[in-house]
Amino acid sequence: MATDILMPALSPTMEEGKLAKWLKKEGDSVKSGDVLAEIETDKATMEVEAIDEGVLAKILVPDGTENVAVNTPIAIIAAEGEDVAAAAASGGQSKPAATEGGAPAPTPDMQAEGMADKSAPTAKTGDDAPRAPAAPAIIKNTAAAPVMDEFPPDSPLETQSVREALRDAMAEEMRRDDKVFVMGEEVAEYQGAYKITQGLLQEFGARRVVDTPITEHGFAGIGVGAAFMGLKPIVEFMTFNFAMQAIDHIINSAAKTLYMSGGQLGCPIVFRGPNGAAARVGAQHSHDYAAWYSNVPGLKVIAPYTAADAKGLLKAAIRDPNPVIFLENEILYGQSFPVPKIDDLVLPIGKARIHRPGTDVTIVSFSIGMTYALKAAQALAEQGIEAEVIDLRTIRPMDSETIVESVKKTGRCVTVEEGFPQSGVGAEIAARLMVDAFDYLDAPVLRVTGKDVPMPYAANLEKLALPNVAEVIEAAKAVCYK
Amino acid sequence: MDAGNEAGKPAASADAPQHRPAPNIPQFTKDEDLHAYREMLLIRRFEEKAGQLYGMGLIGGFCHLYIGQEAVVVGMQMAGEDGDQNITGYRDHGHMLACGMEAKGVMAELTGRRGGYSRGKGGSMHMFSREKQFFGGHGIVGAQVSLGTGLAFADAYLQNGKVSFTYMGDGAANQGQVYESFNMAALWKLPVVYVIENNRYAMGTSVARASAQTDFSKRGLSFGIPGEQVDGMDVRTVREAASRAINHARSGQGPYILEMQTYRYRGHSMSDPAKYRSKDEVSKMRDEHDPIEMVRKRLIEAHGVPEADLKGIDAKVREIVNESADFATHDPEPDASELWTDILLEARA
């Protein structure tokens, strides 16, 4: 049967082109791979190759024709043994099966009925514009946010540093599951640059506690590849500043593959290490990446403050089948907190905790930001302002509900983080509150953040660049109009 | 067009478009040749059809065809065993077919339909099959090299006796993470075979214009990784070299590099007019070193296979490809609800 040769699209955006020149003439026999014609687009001259074998029966669009629309029949090929004259006479009417789909593919049936109601107003779009279905709820908080009630009330407590809690979390999970291993720079022989992996080599051996060369990009990729195979790597970055070298694998390889594979290939991996400023280490060692990673679908992002949260959430992160960014803080490593002495301390990812209940203003923070928030709350209480302090613990998925419920009560909100202001975690919280608690807000949401400058080295400047307790107090009083 | 030629540099002659077949070519049995013929032809016809569907606007975005390079992946597969992993970059359709993934599922992914391997959410560069041990399909040049080394890390960790075939192009071979991976693979003696498919052009830049060392088999030298240059247009030499490399890796001696000297007939992607090389260069390779034509000739002349038998294979392959195109044009697009699936896996309690 005769086959139409169609004007091909040679790029995703091409709609028409010029048929510059025929390299075969009517009556020529052609085989797969032969160049039939040259086509000019605004960008380049390209060749049209034959796919099928046969005889070029008729040229429908002559040399030099401009503005030939994509998918216009430009020639007819008669199949081997077919009557060439008859094929030519079909006059571009022959439609091989393959051209049937030449018209733009039908858009998926996007019915509005699948879209959940939203409390916030949505912009009206043109009636024919396809609309995305509503996102499913990720956080399903049925109970009120816990106020340190996640553990049995009679659990015995022991005092532990964040450092010890993190190490115990890894050791417990490594005992539980042979597929869990830790890799990174100085994690084994050196016992960890910050001693988080202390003793792990001795207990688990070099197979499971793997010292890497200083090659973040490479070992992050190796970790992701191992996770594709079903292992559960804990990749330690000496600091998240160095993970910038590896961010391609964290985002393009770890976060996106599940989606790109239609759900086939998960990536159960934890990237952990200290994040944000330590003290006097300058701009390249002080960046807080919480907002960066929280921007990426396919990742979970955790940034604990207390030792109990560090332990319970790291254990949860290691068990989680998804890539988890676990942001620690060097200054918190040495701080001690009560940790429940229970067998298997695993906390839910994606749930904030009300660290200090209050009624007048909501202060939301995470990680080391909590130290400013809590000290400010103490000072505010002395001045008659009862602040409710929420520890986010997980940045993504973010527990909006706990924040919104608190703001419904207090009508005011201040966010605290060491990261930069633009597109920060505080900016995200402010945007969510504007949509979900607009009618409850009695004042604009204020953000206390790191200053919008690279971290300076000089002690006085560094102090100025970081948030401080006075700024939190000032912001809280401002939203209370006091 | 070759700056090296004008400057009269010796590097230019090394890069001159002459293909030198290897001496002492190993022989295939008739069945092996028939198998190779069928596998390579399937890739060739599939890619031609993909190019056609792209021209009709049914395939969007980027589409990188493997035409001309078929002997590489088919020869590698003939040397591997079940359970060995495969991972490559974005010119990946041939690898998927060679791994035994179905033409229908691959083509439907190209057209972005629900029956595609990634349910329409990955596209040409992002398909995977756990069942066939195909780990993608990666769009960031060189990323698959670290990932493939990670697959081998897991093989060593699990002591499962499997080998990771990690493919990259001559362009990717210049990425930094490739050498980070070489270092760790050699350090830890990981079972990985790095297959550098040198098709002479990294997009439009010839090897001589991008690489200080154009002998890619030497790229692992400073890490002690053995390597060899292989006539990648001859499926027999590919399989023989692959067997050596795989034995090396599987027996715990660490990584191995194979530089496959090959050639792509088409542009870098569908929208590449390939003006950086001469037509003569392309037609010379096609006429004198076509991997499929060589096997076809051998089957007729040396193995005495009747031409009609080969026509029968051609017809069967065309049927598979046409069916895949038909499926890929009629299968519906993914349901709108698929927008929100496969972002995170549910954590098990």
In order, the DSSP letters of B178-194 are HHHHHHHHHHTT--EEE
Contact assignment for B150 to A71 by CB distance below 8 Å? no
Range of the domain at B100: 28-327
**Residue B132, class by beta-carbon neighbours within 10 Å (0-12 exposed, 13-18 middle, 19+ buried)?**
middle
Domain of residue B305, CATH code: 3.40.50.970
pLDDT at A95: 46
Say if B222 is an interface residue toward chain A (CB within 8 Å).
no
Q: Which of A436, A435, A441, A414 is nearest to A425 (CA)?
A: A414
Backbone angles phi, psi at B262, to 5 degrees: -135, -165
Tell me which chain B residues have a C-beta less than 8 angstroms from the C-beta of A247: none
Phi, psi of B87 (to 5 degrees): -150, 140
Cα-to-chain-centroid distance, residue B111:
21
A345/A79 Cα distance (integer angstroms): 72
Structure tokens at A222: 């190796």
Has residue B339 been placed in a domain? no
Annotated catalytic residue, options A285, A330, A355, A417? A285
Instruction: Give the pLDDT score at B52.
Output: 93
Vertex A36: Cα angle to A31 and A39 (nearest 5): 150
Q: What is the pLDDT of residue A145?
A: 46
Q: Is B89 on the interface with A (CB under 8 A)?
A: no
Supply the DSSP symbol for B333.
Answer: P
The helix (H) or strand (E) run that includes residue B325 is helix B307-330
Q: Give the active site residue among A172, A216, A236, A388.
A: A216
On whether residue B210 sits in a domain, the answer given is yes
Q: Which chain B residue is nearest to residue A100, measuring alpha carbons?
A: B329
Query: What's residue B110's pLDDT?
Result: 97
CB B125 within 8 A of CB B137: yes
Which stretch of DSSP H or E encloses residue B245? helix B235-248
| Cα separation, A274 vs A307, whole angstroms | 14
What pLDDT, on a 0 to 100 scale, did the predictor assign at position A140? 46
Residue whose token pair is 């504007």: A434
Q: Cα–chain-centroid distance for residue A443? A: 31
Contact B219, B154 (CB under 8 A): no
> What pLDDT is recorded for position B12?
39
CA-wise closest residue to A98 among B312, B52, B277: B52
Chain A CB contacts of B183 under 8 Å are 213, 215, 218
Q: Is B183 on the interface with A (CB under 8 A)?
A: yes
What Rg do the C-alpha atoms of chain A give, in angstroms?
Answer: 31
Q: Do A261 and B52 touch (CB under 8 A)?
A: no
Tokens for B97, please give them.
């077919």
Q: Which of chain A's residues have a Cβ under 8 Å away from the Cβ of B180?
A: 213, 215, 217-219
For chains A and B, CB pairs below 8 A equal 249
B204 CB within 8 Å of a chain A CB: no
Of A161, A171, A163, A219, nearest in space to A196 by CA: A163
* Closest alpha carbon to B154 in A223, A272, A187: A223
Check residue A462 and give its pLDDT. Answer: 96
Residue of B56, B128, B347 with shortest CB distance to A102: B56
Angle, nearest 10°, between helix axes B103-110 and B30-55?
20
CA proximity to B181, closest of A246, A266, A237: A246
Q: Are A320 and A268 in contact (CB under 8 A)?
A: yes
Task: From A272, A262, A285, select the one nearest A184 (Cα to Cα).
Answer: A272
**What does the pLDDT read at residue A97?**
37
φ/ψ (deg, to 5) at A379: -65, -40
Biggest alpha carbon distance in chain B?
A: 68
CB–CB of A231 and B49 under 8 A?
Answer: no
B contact test, residue of A19, A47, A260 with most B CBs within 10 A = A260
What are the beta bridge partners of residue A300?
Answer: A324
Q: Which residue has the higher pLDDT, B126 or B279?
A: B126
Number of domains chain B contains: 1
A207–B49 C-beta distance less than 8 A: no
- Take residue A28 and report the two structure tokens written for it: 């020529």
B34 and chain A: CB distance < 8 Å anywhere?
no
Contact B157 A181 (CB under 8 A): yes
3-state secondary structure chain A: CCEEEECCCCCCCCCEEEEEEECCCCCCEECCCCEEEEEECCCCEEEEECCCCEEEEEECCCCCEEEEECCCEEEEEECCCCCHHHHHHCCCCCCCHHHHCCCCCCCCCCCHHHCCCCCCCCCCCCCCCCCCCCCCCCCCCCCCCCCCCCCCCCCCEEEEEHHHHHHHHHHHHHHHCCCEEEEECCCCCCCCCCCCCCCHHHHHCCCCEEECCCCHHHHHHHHHHHHHCCCEEEEECCCCCHHHHHHHHHHHHHHCHHHHCCCCCCCCCEEEEECCCCCCCCHHHCCCCHHHHHCCCCCEEECCCCHHHHHHHHHHHHHCCCCEEEEECHHHHCCEEEEECCCCCCCCCCCCEEEECCCCEEEEECCCHHHHHHHHHHHHHHCCCCEEEEECCEEECCCHHHHHHHHHHHCCEEEECCCCCCCCHHHHHHHHHHHHCHHHCCCCCEEECCCCCCCCCCHHHHHHHCCCHHHHHHHHHHHCCC
CB hemisphere CA count around A87 (13 angstroms) = 24
DSSP state of B335: P
* Angle ∠(B35,B36,B41) on CA atoms, nearest 5: 105
Q: Which amino acid is at A300?
A: K
Report how far residue A4's alpha carbon sits from residue A78's, in angstroms, rounded to the nearest whole number: 9
What pLDDT is attached to residue A91? 58
CA distance B320 to A2: 20
Task: Give just the sign of the alpha carbon dihedral B149, B154, B157, B160.
Answer: negative
Weakly modelled stretches of chain A, pLDDT under 50? 95-119, 139-148
> Does residue B49 sit within a domain?
yes
What pLDDT, on a 0 to 100 scale, did the predictor assign at position B22? 73
Q: Which helix (H) or strand (E) holds B145?
A: helix B143-158
Residues of B in contact with A349 (CB under 8 A): 347
The whole-number pLDDT of residue A34 equals 83
Per-residue confidence (pLDDT) for residue A185, from 0 to 100: 97
**Cβ(B271)–Cβ(A12) below 8 Å:** yes
Report which of B55, B249, B26, B82 is spatially closest to residue B156, judged by C-alpha positions. B249
Q: Which positions ≥6 away from A64 have C-beta within 8 Å? A: A18, A19, A20, A21
- Name the token pair of A359: 């009624």
Looking at per-residue pLDDT, the higher value among B325 and A39 belongs to: B325
Question: Which residues on chain A are in Cβ contact (under 8 Å) with B121?
Answer: 259-260, 262
Residue type at A407?
V
**A287 is an active site residue:** no
* Beta carbons within 8 Å of B222's beta carbon, 6+ residues apart: none
> Which tokens go with A22?
């025929």
Residue percentage of chain B with pLDDT more than 90: 87
Token pair listed for B63: 């589409």
Least confident piece of the model among A55-59, B21-25, B60-64, B67-71 = B21-25
Cβ pair A224:B128 closer than 8 A: no
Tokens of A375: 């000290």
Going from the N-terminus, what domains does chain A have, and what CATH number goes with each? 3-94 (2.40.50.100), 157-340 (3.40.50.970), 353-479 (3.40.50.920)
* Cα–Cα dist A95/A470, whole Å: 76
Alpha carbon separation from B253 to A205, B80, B147, B191, B248 (Å, rounded):
22, 17, 20, 8, 6
Distance CA A81, CA A84 (A): 8
Q: In angstroms, rounded to a whole number, what is the distance separating the alpha carbons of residues B17 and B261?
A: 11
Of A482, A470, A469, give the one whose Cα is nearest residue A385.
A482
What is the pLDDT at residue A92? Answer: 57
Instruction: Verify whether residue A382 is a known catalytic residue.
Output: no
Report the 10 Å Cβ neighbour count for A293.
26
Q: Provide the terminal-to-terminal Cα distance of chain A, rounded to the nearest Å.
A: 86
Q: Do B81 and B89 form a contact (C-beta atoms < 8 A)?
A: no
The reply to whether B340 falls in a domain is no
Report residue A50 as tokens. Answer: 């034959």
At residue A93, the pLDDT reads 55
Kindly report, residue by residue over B139-174, the tens digit of the pLDDT: 999 999 999 999 999 999 999 999 999 999 999 999
Q: Determine the pLDDT at residue B5.
A: 39
Q: What is the DSSP letter of B233?
A: T
Amino acid at A474: E
* C-alpha distances out from residue A175 to A36, A178, A231, A315, A344, Å: 66, 7, 14, 12, 12
Cβ neighbours of residue A195 closer than 8 Å, sequence gap 6 or more: A163
